[in-house]
Chains A and B, each alone.
Chain A
Amino acid sequence: MSLLSVNNLSKTFRVYRSEWLRIACWFGFPFKSAEENWVLRNVTFEIFPGEAIGVVGQNGAGKSTLLKLITGTLRPTAGEVHVGGRIAAILELGMGFNPELTGRQNVFHAAGLMGFSVEETNNVMQDIQDFAEVGSYFDEPVRIYSSGMQMRVAFAVATAHRPEILIVDEALSVGDSYFQHKSFNRIKEFQEKGTTLLIVSHDRAAIQGLCDRAILLENGFIIKDGVPEEVFDYYNAIIAEKENTNIEVKKLNDGKAQTSSGTGEARVKEIGLYGADGNAVEVVNVGDFLELRIKVKVITEISSLVLGYGIKDRLGQVMYGTNTWHTKQVIIDPLEGAEYEFVIKFPANFGVGSYSVQTALVDRDTHLTANYEWIDLAFIFNVVNLDKTTFVGALWNEPNITIKEVSG
């Protein structure tokens, strides 16, 4: 049984020539609206208990509308939403807080707004107070709180009871980094206990860290539904999309999807990873010295060429990335047809696991002004631990541990 199913959901905002026509429509007069703005079209998906889904898309793609339809503040024009449990939505923190009231009074009020009774709120009051960590300020008016303190109290109330479905809209960046970790942990804890998460965020790391699935919305349609890494690669490609850009998705041998996009003035012809002895490798030992060789061909005349690369882990988190703009090795006015070989030497100071290389051919430090070519999963290699001390984590950071007996 799915916990949440969204079936052919569509939402249009109708604009009438006169609002009187809209009102006449409620009484059965068949007036047509002058304009229909479709914000969501035939959105269908299902979420099962314990799943975590990230919703990504550009501004105006319909993400917030989707969340509001699921929460129930907006009504769908067509289609339906079935919800099999209590929804808690953090669309905006601190909604309904009154600055003249104390934190405690506001907690009661905000909990009441979520439909909880005094007893229910009293039962979790200590938790809320402990979680918010505002100390004696809890019984002071919210007006004298810092904005971070207010957010902390708001987050603590919103997540005081574990809901079946938790909807979070860009609210993960609450307060200082300590509190961010804390709120992140609470969300993870909920997830482990079976709460379904639905998260809207532009923060790739947050979504890839929490979600096992992502949905990409564009102009009200779901254009991609899959593993977060793949969806984000596609999303990045869309952001960089300019005229003449085409996005290509190639299925690699291991089933992963390689996304490439760009305007095509320059292209990566070849990419390979080589060991210290000069042989091509795909499996490397922790700490090995490696050479990443990338051959680039200039197809049409451009004013500058910068190669950027990033090494990402299995979840798509960037381990390390830089470009030749930052290393001050920009190629100025490359000729048409010229070929360059970039040799990047680095030690494989990574943890055990699978890693991918992402390349970008651009004109300066970002891919926003010109994106000649962008390839995700351009190359994949594995790191194994053959001769180093057993360790966990994504980084090889060999320690020197000394132990001295200091007493007895």
Chain B
Amino acid sequence: MLYSIGIAKFSVIKTFLYVLVGVILGMLSGLWQYRYFVWSSIRNELISKFARSKFSGIWMIANPLAQVAIYALILSSVLAAKLPGIEHQYAYAIYLMAGLLAWTLFNDIVLRCLNLFVENGNLMKKMSFPRITLPVVAVGTCSVNNFLLLVSMFAVFALLGHQFSLAMLWLFPLTFLLVVFSVGIGLMLGILNVFIRDVGQVVPIVLQMGFWFTPIVYPLDIVPLRFREILDWNPLLPIVEAYQQVLVYGMSPSIEGLAKVSLVALFFMFCSLYLFRRASSEMVDVL
């Protein structure tokens, strides 16, 4: 009896897994067929942003570079903020940039995904194409922007005389994990936003608050203990810490923290895909 229940349970999980694999394979094959559309959408978006300006290539770097330079100069030289434990004059600026690199990627992807379906409503109503290409395009453009930010940061690091280390290779898996995490949250919010437009208004506010609940401008050590408990609930915390470990201290991040985030990211991703499946039949109806 028990055994047969076990079998039944097992087969439920099995069919569930089959469905899940089927859904993912379907999405992947759609993506593959529309790969050129994805690629050209990403390219067009970047091109049209700087179209008709003379130094289009330079502006792409100039913006993140200016952002980073301002933090480096103003905060370190003028305010002379120091990071406990490191003597380097620009240590705080580097710490800040590491956190910002992670936060910007998260923030950009969530905000893009949030308005993704609403903005592309007309396209979805008039053309039949795999919907999954839309978040992929969003991730693509955000990643390119983040990569440019990273390049600018490295340039500033070199100027400030910061040591590069092999630990920075950790950025590849970290970025991937952060993208999965951000898309998981962003897609879910983006789908909800189609039906409940208030979501689109609330999320930017929550994100602003989230910025200050993440140790980006301040080191985690200076946070009083009773607030630490709140911060521990922030799923983004281990990733931001990992970025800082890798970029500032040149050390490997804590695997335990990253494993936790991976689980959370997978959970959000799974929820998003479920919502996406369920909502897609009604999404165009209300757009």
The yes or no answer to A109 lying at the interface (CB within 8 A) is: yes
Q: Mark B247-258, 1 if CB is under 8 A from A, else 0.
A: 000000000000
Q: B196 — nearest CB in chain A belongs to which residue?
A: A19
> Is A87 at the interface (CB under 8 A from chain B)?
yes
Q: Verify if A264 is at the interface (C-beta below 8 Å from B).
A: no
Closest residue of A by beta carbon distance from B122: A95
Query: Residues 7-39 of chain B: 1 if any A CB is under 8 Å from the residue's CB, otherwise 0?
Result: 000000000000000000000000001111101
CB–CB B51/A87 < 8 A:
no
Name the segment of A113-121, A193-201, A269-277, A305-313 touching the other chain. Answer: A113-121
* Residue of chain B at shortest CB distance from A76: B281
* Interface set, chain A 80-109, CB cutoff 8 A to B: 87, 89, 91-92, 95-96, 98, 100-101, 105, 108-109
Query: CB of A68 within 8 A of chain B?
Result: yes
Bound-state CA distance A153–B35 (Å) is 23
Contacts of B192 in A (CB 8 A): 23
Return the CB mask of A44-61 against B: 1 if under 8 Å, else 0.
Answer: 000000000000000000
Please give, as numbers and ranges, the residues of chain B lying within 8 Å of A14 by CB-CB distance: 282, 285
Q: A22-B195, A115-B34, A141-B51 are in contact. Are A13 and B129 (CB under 8 A)?
A: no
**Whole-angstrom distance between the Cβ of B106 and the nearest chain A Cβ:** 24
Residues in A whose Cβ lies below 8 Å from that of B196: 19-20, 23
Q: Which of B151-187 contact A (CB under 8 A)?
A: none
Please tell me the size bucket of the interface on A.
20 to 34
Interface residues of B in 46-74 (CB under 8 A from A): 47-48, 51-52
Residue A283 is within 8 A (CB to CB) of chain B in the complex: no
- Given the complex of chains A and B, what is the CA–CA distance between A91 and B127 in angstroms? 8
Please give, as numbers and ranges, the residues of chain B lying within 8 Å of A22 by CB-CB distance.
Answer: 195, 282
Once the chains bind, are B126 and A91 in contact (CB under 8 Å)? yes
B223 at interface, CB cutoff 8 A: no
Which listed residue, A73, A74, A100, A112, touches B40 by the CB 8 Å rule?
A: A112
Task: Tell me whether B129 and A26 are in contact (CB under 8 A).
Answer: no
B144 adjacent to chain A (CB < 8 Å): no
Chain B interfacial residues counted at CB < 8 A: 32
Q: Which residues between 126 and 166 of chain B lie within 8 Å of chain A, taking CB atoms?
A: 126-129
Chain B residues whose CB sits within 8 angstroms of the CB of A95 once the complex forms: 122-123, 126-127
The answer on a CB contact under 8 Å between B128 and A73 is yes
Other-chain contact of A75, B34, B47, B129, B281 (Cβ < 8 Å): B281
Q: Does the CB pair A68–B33 fall under 8 Å?
A: no
* A321: Cβ under 8 A from any B Cβ: no
Is A72 interfacial (CB-CB < 8 Å)? yes
Interface residues of B in 70-114 (CB under 8 A from A): none
Q: For B127, list chain A residues within 8 Å (CB).
A: 73, 89, 91, 95-96, 113-114
Residues in B with CB closer than 8 Å to A101 are: 44, 47-48, 51
Judge whether A261 is part of the interface by a CB distance below 8 angstroms. no
Query: Which residues from A are CB-within-8-Å of B273?
Result: none
Contact assessment for B34 and A112 in the assembled complex, using a CB-CB cutoff below 8 Å = yes
Q: How far is the CA of A116 from the CA of B39 in the complex (A)?
A: 12
Verify if B263 is at the interface (C-beta below 8 Å from A).
no
Q: Does A129 contact B (CB under 8 A)?
A: no
User: Which 4 A-B pairs give the minimum distances between C-beta atoms?
Assistant: A112-B37, A26-B278, A100-B51, A75-B281
Sample (8) of A-B pairs whose CB atoms are under 8 Å apart: A22-B282, A73-B124, A73-B125, A91-B127, A101-B48, A109-B40, A112-B39, A117-B36
Chain B contacts to A: CB under 8 angstroms: 33-37, 39-41, 44, 47-48, 51-52, 122-129, 192, 195-196, 275, 278-282, 284-285
B-contacting residues of A (Cβ < 8 Å)? 13-14, 19-20, 22-23, 26-27, 68, 71-75, 87, 89, 91-92, 95-96, 98, 100-101, 105, 108-109, 112-118, 141
